[in-house]
Structure 1
Amino acid sequence: MAWKQQARMACSLALAGVVAACGGGSDAPATAAPDQGGSGGATPGAAGKKILLVGVDGATYSQLQNALIQHGMPNLATLAITPSSTGGRLGTISEQAPLDAPSWATVLTGNWQDRHGVTDDQAAAAGLKAPSLFQYLRAANTGATRQRLGAATGAAALPLLLKADAAAGNLDSLRDCAYDDNCVTQEGVKLVQSGYDVVFAQYTAPDLAAASQGFNGGAYATALSGFDQALGKLLAAVQARRQANPGEDWLVAVTASHGLDATGATTTLPTVENRTAFIALNKPFNALAGNLPAAPANAAALSAMPSEADLLPTLLAHSGTALPAAQYKIDGAALTGEAGARAMSSVVGQFSNTLVLSWQNPTAASGPMTLLRDGVVIESALPAGTTSYEDTKLNPPDSGLYRYNYTLVRNGVPVSLQAQINYVKPIVLADTLRNNLAAYYSFETLPALDAKGTTTIGPWVAGTDGGSLGTDNFGAKSLKVNSNIDAYVLKQSGADIALSPQFTIGFWFKSDCTQGNGTGEPILSNKNYVSGANAGIAFGLFGSCEVRFNIGSGGKRDDIQGMTFSANQWAYLALSVNATAKTFSAYIIDPVLGVQKTENKAIANTDVTKLGGLATGQWGINDDATHAYVPNNGGSLKGVMEFNDLAMWTRQLSLSELQTITGSRQPLSTLNP
């Protein structure tokens, strides 16, 4: 984000007049000069469908609402507006950081980072890996019907994202205004007046104001007002075109890249604030949007709203650009006209060899639905009310990671999803897993029973039971621990496994990741885990479904970080320690992401004689060993974690043994341990 920091420094003195020039200036040359024929000039496509797409950085939805309520944005108020989500679907391959470049890539391509490839702001330099709005429109309009397409952008990410379009001739004009919003307005108005068919104008002043002074002090309100005035000039130019050319049908769409946190900062945390944007149109929304004026209160509410990926198909639909279903690879769905399906998602099936698709049907269907996989129809007549489908006919040649593009056509409207699976062909559960097994829970009943009889698991406080039985990945039962009620505790009655010369702890784990934030939350821990400053062991859940494996205390600690799992999917977690050799290993085997591992990492800092934690023989489940992690650690969250087949061995397990656990489709109980 170096370019943004430089721009903020350069513009900090100009925020009192925030729409004043802060960058390249209005004299910077455009990539291609627009036609100077004037507002009444007859140009190719001038009498047809036209688009004005306006983007703004930093217009976070809650602040936007306040400005609208106070009548501070009269031009935006003339449009229909809804909050929208960005950042993809949490805990899936589509999840992306709520940063400028990935977010604008989504607006331009209708896809998330798993398709467009822009994972962060630095990745903008590599360009887009998915077709853009301008590429789609250029391919659909050639020869005598060739449309003229132009853009004027403020943020540094946009010229990088659009450079390939400019080089390929998909853009007739690309003006880099380098954080000068006056330049964006002047160029945008000129393009509209010149008869361009598609005009993209992108602003930055609210973001610069928020980064410099937050939401207080007046600069941010001035920036929002300045943006609204600029929007008014663009809308006036459109109105003048319509009056001079009655046959022109303009779609005006306004959107933001992403939200900001409570201080006005851009961060990578996938919070509701950061992932809430907005979409405004000069035409009525269809049933995919509905009447949604309020800001989302939580992640579930946000996921039910339109997304930034819906903008591109909305613009294509208005332009009359229809893509064949067999070629459709766009994650969003049009927000105008006929409504198809929405919120398409996938999870891996019970045995990691099928994909289960689900979606919502916001309106009645005119007939059966069609489902395609990688452009080939796999179901031609799904009943109109169907909301899920299990694809049981994948049959790839071997175990491994595979991606498939699914397209669902409902009411003639396609919507696509890229689904990934770590496909596992059935293998045999290793009989060696019986060896040195010290504790094992299959969680088929409550109270939970240790098959080896060396430990007990139950509520911390008698009569306050946060545990319940769920459904595991074998069609049997699992343990669900809701720390909103109370966490669980594992008590060892024999020798402390954490003081064995070698040991392995492994279990199936599932979470929606809502507890994962920058503070973290213990999954399983025998220590006082506040700030990780006390001796012992902890599995910790952090933001974006990251698991951190922590041993030791304070400056005498060793960590394995950066491994993630898929939200709401069963993943296998394992930690293996060799105290004699002073090495440790961590594994996550995920049905979507595959195997992640760090093996035989040197224990460089930890005193291995103190891995027993609080020396009570107790492990917190969805808590640390103090039973007070949340009150002791501000910012941490309570919630539900789900466990299955929890086992402890007094030896190190190999990766191949662990892979038989995930690949056999059988619980350890089938070995009668």
Structure 2
Amino acid sequence: MAWKQRARMACGLALAGTVAACGGGNDTPAAAAPEQVGPGTSGAASKKVLLVGVDGATYSQLQSAMTQRTLPNLATLAITPAFTGGRLGTTTEQVPLDGPSWATVLSGSWVNRHGVTDDVATAGGLKTPSLFQYLRGAGASGSTQLRLGGATSAPLLPALLKADVTAGNLNSLRNCNADDNCVTQESVKLVQSGYDVVFAQFSAPGMAAAAQGFQGGGYATALSAFDQALGKLLAAVQARRQANANEDWLVAVTTSHGLDATGATTTVPAVQNLTTFIALNKPFNAALASNLAAAPANATTLAALPSEADLLPTVLAHAGVAVPAASHRIDGSPLTGNVGVRALKTVVGDTNTSLVLSWQNPTTASGDMTLLRDGVQIATLPAGTTSYEDKTLNAPASGIYRFNYTLVRNGVPASMLAQINYVKPIVLADTLRNNLAAYYSFETLPATDSKGTTTIGPWVPGTDGGSLSSDNFGGKALKVDSRIDAYQLMQSGADIALAPQFTIGFWFRSDCTQGNGTGEPILSNKDWTSGSNPGIAIGLWGNCSVSFNLGSGGKRDDIQGMTFSANQWTYLALSINATAKTFSAYVIDPVLGLQKTENKAIANTDVTKLNGLATKAWGLNDDATHAYVPNNGGALKGVMEFNDLAMWTRQLSLAELQTIAGSRQPLSTLNP
């Protein structure tokens, strides 16, 4: 009921100049100008599109219903599982909610381009061109005569598309205000009247899941009703084809995002929540998708699937609209016809002055590839190339920069917006030698503390989960796999957690798969079944988030909300002044830059109990009990990497920490 009330409130967003369920104003600002595109080979008048969206049609339930043959109309289409949510731990990552997901469908881009961060942010509209802008600005003969329209049920869609109506990119948009029957009726009329592109968006399955989950029969009924509505739309398309032999229709169906096992919508980036589907009335390129494949079981399988960003370029390819590589800003690529590259991504190079691109080549190339940065060609690459390091950024100063890369293969462009916290080389502060109490360079195993005050190794001898990996200095780092055994750091002298002042800092890398809603210790000297237990914990949470926690038994203090980039070396530091009762936390990330909270009051924690279990032990990839996962249902074991782990019996300044991140040198070069 609350959802319907919000839908009624959305009437204030109804669009001027449209056929609308509840009227409205025309105060939405004009959308960004679409990129210039060139005409395709097919006449726009004969190429038509029916794009159908539905909230709540999660892939697992869809598969089950199709097995029971209760979705006969959807079953006539080729269906593949797909993903939403961008790439975990990158600037493309977005929460699996309606607003960001529909923004991706309609723009072919992720949140770092379209700017819709949640369901509330839809009122600001898209910050990138939409499907309708691309079609209207195609420059093809008759593009201005194209009739583009739709009908939507969810209240956030009119807000998302208001600028398109204002700019004339949409001839009509019916706000059906949570009435799926209205969507069916209006969309059938648009098809029958010869519209070139029709967008029909339904919401009843999502509303049913929100009301009672997958139980009670309401959800199954809503899903079946959607299929019946789809049948009416398909029948209207078929009638058009029979009456107009020159019409070539693309029918595409998708959902906004997945739901969890109970049917709930959450922002947790779990596989179920990120799994969607794409259905077409035309065959997928076999190199990209297969019909009704099994639901992805893990994040790796999910990431290899098509994405919702692929829908827009698939529609454009069918319509014969080609976006030139020099102005290409679309993250997806077509699912039919020729195949370009897939899974294009970047990481920051080890020196923080370059970007390393990587991608997959699903098919054989007909010739060399072309790489552009911000519309300018920077390289020609052999057909089999799968990576390239751009060392020519030449940024004028340290800071965060964004670059649009476009890679053209087989004539098909694919783009991504990369970000780097570019750092001009600086000198490692010599003062970092002062009060250094423990230091591990991790160049060899067993690891050795150069100060001789601590030891480090697996908790259980003979079950060593540690190995050496490549670090960010051309040397080695410690890779700890807690599925085998976590690591323990044991202090032989005075407990650093009881020093009047101390700082702990280290380089850290993770793929974030352990960072779910339960959390996982990165470094901890406490029993972390509760943050209020005595001691210190640096923890990994969902969305690559890091928390810094102090507790003393029933009371706690936290610094939260800082994030890092997956699979990139990031510097983490915690500094405590027990005398002044303040603490500071720092995350210096090669993509996101510096995040800090300095001199926050320790308002609740008894600083005399920061030594946790009083065993002088710290867990790496575990807490100090060596039993975090068994003690916390849902917690995950996995891999974390550590490098240049150091402890000081003083507070380090931000300037000193920035030299660690910016010098591109390990502390060992100071011979501490």
TM-score normalised according to structure 1 size: 0.94
Alignment counterpart, residue 109 of structure 1, candidates 101, 107, 127: 107
Q: CA offset at residue 215 of structure 1?
A: 0.7
Distance of 1:529 and 1:3 partners within structure 2: 37
Q: CA offset at residue 555 of structure 1?
A: 4.2
Match of 2:80 in 1: 82
Distance of 2:663 and 2:140 partners within structure 1: 55
* Pair 5,392 (structure 1): closer, same or farther in 2 beyond 3 Å: farther
Counterparts of 1:638-657 in structure 2, within 5 Å, are 638-657=637-656
Partner of 1:106, secondary structure, is helix
Instruction: Give the counterpart letter for 1:113 in structure 2.
Output: V
Distance of 1:394 and 1:3 partners within structure 2: 50
Instruction: Give the counterpart letter for 2:171 in structure 1.
Output: D
Is the Cα–Cα contact under 8 Å of residues 523 and 540 in structure 1 kept in the other structure?
yes
Match of 1:658 in 2: 657
Q: CA offset at residue 143 of structure 1?
A: 7.3
Alignment counterpart, residue 123 of structure 1, candidates 121, 124, 132: 121
Distance of 2:128 and 2:61 partners within structure 1: 32
Gaps of 5+ in 2: 10-18, 27-42
Match of 1:395 in 2: 394
* Pair 150,529 (structure 1): closer, same or farther in 2 beyond 3 Å: same
Distance of 2:513 and 2:94 partners within structure 1: 16
After superposition, give the CA deviation of every residue in 1:189-243 in whole Å (9 maximum; x if it has no partner): 0000010000000000100111111111111111110000000000000000000
Distance of 1:30 and 1:245 partners within structure 2: 36
After superposition, give the CA deviation of every residue in 1:569-613 in whole Å (9 maximum; x if it has no partner): 000000000000111000000000000000010111010000000
Partner of 2:120, secondary structure, is helix
1:297 aligns with 2:302: no
Partner of 2:407, secondary structure, is strand
Distance of 1:290 and 1:620 partners within structure 2: 43
Q: CA offset at residue 408 of structure 1?
A: 0.2
Match of 1:605 in 2: 604
Counterparts of 1:238-253 in structure 2, within 5 Å, are 238-253=237-252
Is the Cα–Cα contact under 8 Å of residues 46 and 196 in structure 1 kept in the other structure?
no
Match of 1:181 in 2: 180
Instruction: Give the counterpart letter for 2:152 in structure 1.
Output: T
Match of 2:93 in 1: 95
Distance of 2:220 and 2:268 partners within structure 1: 25
Partner of 2:177, secondary structure, is coil
Distance of 1:266 and 1:100 partners within structure 2: 9
Match of 1:157 in 2: 156
Is the Cα–Cα contact under 8 Å of residues 31 and 174 in structure 1 kept in the other structure?
no
Is the Cα–Cα contact under 8 Å of residues 127 and 160 in structure 1 kept in the other structure?
yes
After superposition, give the CA deviation of every residue in 1:132-153 in whole Å (9 maximum; x if it has no partner): 0001101115774420000100
Distance of 1:572 and 1:507 partners within structure 2: 6
Distance of 1:282 and 1:407 partners within structure 2: 29
Instruction: Give the counterpart letter for 2:341 in structure 1.
Output: A
Is the Cα–Cα contact under 8 Å of residues 21 and 175 in structure 2 kept in the other structure?
no
1:4 aligns with 2:6: no
* Pair 348,526 (structure 1): closer, same or farther in 2 beyond 3 Å: same
Instruction: Give the counterpart letter for 1:611 in structure 2.
Output: L
Distance of 1:667 and 1:572 partners within structure 2: 12
Match of 1:39 in 2: none
Counterparts of 1:110-259 in structure 2, within 5 Å, are 110-140=108-138, 144-145=142-143, 146-259=145-258
Match of 2:341 in 1: 341
Distance of 2:266 and 2:514 partners within structure 1: 18
Distance of 1:202 and 1:643 partners within structure 2: 47
Match of 1:372 in 2: 372
Partner of 1:428, secondary structure, is coil
Alignment counterpart, residue 59 of structure 1, candidates 57, 60, 68: 57
Partner of 2:290, secondary structure, is coil
Is the Cα–Cα contact under 8 Å of residues 344 and 415 in structure 2 kept in the other structure?
yes
After superposition, give the CA deviation of every residue in 1:246-279 in whole Å (9 maximum; x if it has no partner): 1000000000000001110111000000000000
1:475 aligns with 2:474: yes
After superposition, give the CA deviation of every residue in 1:484-528 in whole Å (9 maximum; x if it has no partner): 011110000000000000000000000000000111000000000
Q: CA offset at residue 453 of structure 1?
A: 0.2
Counterparts of 1:275-286 in structure 2, within 5 Å, are 275-286=274-285
Is the Cα–Cα contact under 8 Å of residues 31 and 166 in structure 1 kept in the other structure?
no
After superposition, give the CA deviation of every residue in 1:364-415 in whole Å (9 maximum; x if it has no partner): 0000000000000001x20000000000000100011000000000000000
* Pair 138,508 (structure 1): closer, same or farther in 2 beyond 3 Å: same
Match of 2:459 in 1: 460
Is the Cα–Cα contact under 8 Å of residues 255 and 279 in structure 1 kept in the other structure?
yes
Is the Cα–Cα contact under 8 Å of residues 465 and 487 in structure 2 kept in the other structure?
yes
Distance of 2:194 and 2:202 partners within structure 1: 21
Distance of 1:126 and 1:436 partners within structure 2: 51
Match of 1:42 in 2: none
TM-score normalised according to structure 2 size: 0.94
Distance of 2:572 and 2:515 partners within structure 1: 16
* Pair 82,134 (structure 1): closer, same or farther in 2 beyond 3 Å: same
1:519 aligns with 2:518: yes
Count of matched residue positions in the alignment of Structure 1 and Structure 2:
646
Match of 1:330 in 2: 330
Stretch moving more, 240-249 or 135-144:
135-144
Q: CA offset at residue 31 of structure 1?
A: 10
% of aligned pairs identical? Answer: 76
Partner of 1:108, secondary structure, is helix
Partner of 1:274, secondary structure, is helix
Partner of 1:242, secondary structure, is helix
Instruction: Give the counterpart letter for 2:333 in structure 1.
Output: A
Partner of 2:271, secondary structure, is coil
Instruction: Give the counterpart letter for 1:351 in structure 2.
Output: T
Distance of 2:4 and 2:515 partners within structure 1: 28
Match of 2:31 in 1: none
Instruction: Give the counterpart letter for 2:641 in structure 1.
Output: E
Gaps of 5+ in 1: 11-24, 33-44
Q: CA offset at residue 4 of structure 1?
A: 3.4
Is the Cα–Cα contact under 8 Å of residues 288 and 306 in structure 1 kept in the other structure?
no
Distance of 2:112 and 2:65 partners within structure 1: 35
Instruction: Give the counterpart letter for 2:314 in structure 1.
Output: T
Match of 2:260 in 1: 261
Is the Cα–Cα contact under 8 Å of residues 4 and 178 in structure 2 kept in the other structure?
no
Q: CA offset at residue 9 of structure 1?
A: 11
Distance of 2:75 and 2:24 partners within structure 1: 31
Partner of 1:432, secondary structure, is helix
Distance of 1:89 and 1:262 partners within structure 2: 22
Is the Cα–Cα contact under 8 Å of residues 141 and 147 in structure 1 kept in the other structure?
no
Partner of 1:531, secondary structure, is coil
Instruction: Give the counterpart letter for 1:317 in structure 2.
Output: A
Distance of 1:486 and 1:167 partners within structure 2: 60
After superposition, give the CA deviation of every residue in 1:170-204 in whole Å (9 maximum; x if it has no partner): 00001111110000000000000010000000000
Match of 1:353 in 2: 353
Q: CA offset at residue 624 of structure 1?
A: 0.3
Distance of 2:579 and 2:423 partners within structure 1: 34
Partner of 1:237, secondary structure, is helix
Q: CA offset at residue 6 of structure 1?
A: 3.5
Counterparts of 1:434-513 in structure 2, within 5 Å, are 434-513=433-512
Alignment root-mean-square deviation, CA: 1.8
Distance of 1:650 and 1:474 partners within structure 2: 26
Partner of 2:137, secondary structure, is helix
Partner of 2:530, secondary structure, is helix
Distance of 1:370 and 1:123 partners within structure 2: 36
Q: CA offset at residue 157 of structure 1?
A: 1.2
Once superposed, which parts of structure 1, at least 4 consecutive aligned residues long, lie more than 6 Å away? 29-32
Partner of 1:273, secondary structure, is helix
Distance of 1:537 and 1:555 partners within structure 2: 14
Q: CA offset at residue 357 of structure 1?
A: 0.2
Distance of 1:27 and 1:251 partners within structure 2: 28
* Pair 8,526 (structure 1): closer, same or farther in 2 beyond 3 Å: farther
* Pair 144,84 (structure 1): closer, same or farther in 2 beyond 3 Å: closer
Q: CA offset at residue 8 of structure 1?
A: 9.0
Instruction: Give the counterpart letter for 1:118 in structure 2.
Output: V
